[in-house]
Structure 1
């Protein structure tokens, strides 16, 4: 009888051991951070800065894996279908985890198939133009566009991209009309803007801020409620005369659905510690990125923000009948 009782206790303890020890031993091998865009782009740069410091906190290497294609939807599938063990996580942004749901026929659910880990950065856009465009401020730009309907051109990274949706939002608020010119990415579009082949862009500050500083493009406003620390001379849309045009390429980190809560807590702690590093914070500022306050860095805060953004942007995208260029 005693022997039977002892065996039951041993079996029970053994069955509990993996659950009890997993969170304690995680991570016991390298973690892969999936980036939905090519190396060298804005999201990749943020991922590499973050991964280095996360690895130091976790005690394991955080490997960056670039999984490109279809505006980040291939990477989204990679993370959504990965084992929920904390060893495959993904970085994404406003485009991949909000806009894509209204544009692409996704094979995964943006809210149900991921566990939020943390928001890492908020990068507002800049309204920029070729240097020779006549208007000198945002009010003059709006007036010029109204006087020249459908004559101006705005470069985008393709149908449904952040630059495209931002331009549609701008048109809705200002009653202006202009044509969109799709490119294979923001880089080629910016090159054509500098060359004077197109007139406008709604671009990530991290992509075009250096060109603004160099005078090869002109900036009318930043699409945020406060000025950029890296470019305090550029007015906000409120100051420039178009209140409410708030657009940001905020970035976050997600894990597959059903990743253990204890693992999410460890990953979040690693992100929060990384974001507190002074050198990383300075580098983010130089890239035109704003690190969210500590209370906005929790998994719950990221999930809530993502839901709010979906509620805001999906109706705009669908009303404009924006479709993916498949």
Structure 2
């Protein structure tokens, strides 16, 4: 008798969960971006949020929750209800590197469900216009000749810009003095104003300022030039062999979110990425679309685990820690 009652209760709960998933979404959805407004993550999230609204029939709101290299914003999402109404937006820095840099009160893999892999972009070495160098070789010579390290803006310890800066140091033999911000948007503003010397930045964050002539670009960390900015050489072409790094982004939800809701969110993002206007916006930002077969939750989960295996030993060997 008891077994029959328990079976009935389980059946009712399952049907209730299915009904909830079927009615989803019934109210606005929040995408938590763990960096300041105006930065590359914020820009991508807002483009996608607007297009997702049309598919899901509900407002999709971007909330910027900054601090600690993005770990505070990710934590906010992790500890939200697993109902599909809170999405964690992040990238290589927030959902891979931070696990090796910070003592997180959550597990980046165990406490999150992957939703979809998003567009990626290489890093770009940029400086304020007052720097006298006009090529990467000249920049490296200038950096090495300084009596004190040049200042380099980052989005915080362990962020993509910080890891890329450390990687740049290792590949070139130079030293930098890092200046942390709540995102590379504010860091870029200070670079334009001449308050810091360089950023090893996401291309999507800096490319419009490079085009406007307010900062100077030297090279990108890819094996091919950008279609949207073919005049910028690769690091290999500019004389720094082996400096290659791609910063990919993704979306996650709290662990325990119903599978059907994950599928709905995935489908909404995939539809958005297939939209011609969205593709054009991403291309203008220097972003590259993921292959179609990589647009599944499983593909993002596999990418995240593989990147943890790759980058954690590098980060720990470089002794990247919170100051």
TM range (shorter): 0.7 to 0.9
Corresponding residue number in structure 1 for 2:244: 246
Could you list the runs of 5+ residues in structure 1 that have no partner in the other structure? Answer: 1-6
- Normalising to structure 1: TM-score of the pair? 0.87
Moved more, 146-155 or 220-229: 146-155
Does 2:217 correspond to 1:219?
A: yes
Residue 177 and residue 34 in structure 1: after superposition, are their counterparts in 2 closer, same or farther (change >3 A)?
closer
Report if the CA contact (8 A) 1:86-1:255 is conserved. Answer: yes
Q: Alpha-carbon deviation of 1:188?
A: 4.5
Partners of 2:254 and 2:149 in 1: how far apart? 46
> Matched residues in 2 for 1:173 and 1:63: separation?
40
Cα distance in 1 for residues equivalent to 2:10 and 2:215: 68
Unaligned ranges ≥5, structure 2: none
Question: Where in structure 2 are the equivalents of 1:188-267 lying within 5 Å?
Answer: 188-267=186-265
Q: What are the residue-to-residue correspondences of 1:40-189 with 2, within 5 Å?
A: 40-148=38-146, 150-183=148-181, 185-189=183-187
In structure 2, the CA distance between the partners of 1:271 and 1:149, relative to structure 1 (3 Å rule), is same
User: 1:305 matched to which residue of 2?
Assistant: 303
The offset of 1:122, in angstroms, is 0.5
| Aligned twin of 1:292 | 290
Q: Deviations over 1:192-227 (max 9, x none)?
A: 434545432201222221221122322111112222
The C-alpha deviation readout for 1:43-98, integer Å capped at 9, x for no partner, is 22221211121121122222323323322222212221222222222111122111
Bigger shift: residues 301-310 or 190-199: 190-199
Structure-2-length-normalised TM-score: 0.88
With 71-80 and 192-201 compared, the bigger mean Cα shift is at 192-201
Distance in structure 1 (CA, Å) of the matches to 2:219 and 2:45 = 27
Q: How many residues align?
A: 319
SS at the partner of 2:89? strand
Q: Specify whether residues 200 and 75 from structure 1 end up closer, same or farther in structure 2 by C-alpha distance, changes over 3 A only.
A: closer
| Cα distance change, pair 242–296 in 1 and its aligned pair in 2 (3 A) | farther
How far apart are the structure 1 equivalents of 2:262 and 2:315?
32
